[in-house]
Amino acid sequence: MIGWAAVTGELHYVVTNGVSMQPTYHAGDLLVTVKARDYQIGDVVAYHARPGLVVAHRIISGNATEGLTTKGDNNQSIDPFHPTPGQIIGRPALHIAGGGVWLQRAISPPVLGGIAFLLFAGGGTAVHRRHRRRRATVS
């Protein structure tokens, strides 16, 4: 199921932030979400609340036509957003505790810049060495 979702683009990741879903999820956890055909009361879903804001909360009521009512497990009040199925990214298929912290470190600009530098610097050297070896064996 996860393989097919990756191919079709229905696989996404969410890095949690805050305490609204404790004790289920903590800040810095990585959730890999998969789009589903339908969502039910009790499901945790990730959705676009507004541009730049992704929320991962539990469905407590609602329906597909009027919108779903969601709430964080550690929140007293319900969310002001009522996502429709079109706004939902998916429900968690994989949870990696603390994985979001490591993912954010791995895709930070300094790390990506270092990897790019190593690829460019190491790639040219490997080609150059290969040519030298050939010349040495031919002559």
Evaluate if residue 95 carries a pLDDT over 60: yes
Tokens of 26: 């903590």
> Is this structure's pTM higher than 0.85?
no
Query: Where is average pLDDT lowest: 4-8, 37-41, 57-61?
Result: 4-8
Contact 15, 30 (CB under 8 A): yes
Q: With the C-alpha atoms ordered 101, 13, 17, 38, is the resulting torsion angle positive or negative?
A: negative
Evaluate if residue 1 carries a pLDDT over 50: no
pLDDT tier at 49, thresholds 50, 70, 90: confident
b/e burial code for range 113-127 (CB count within 10 A of at least 16 → b): eeeeeeeeeeeeeee
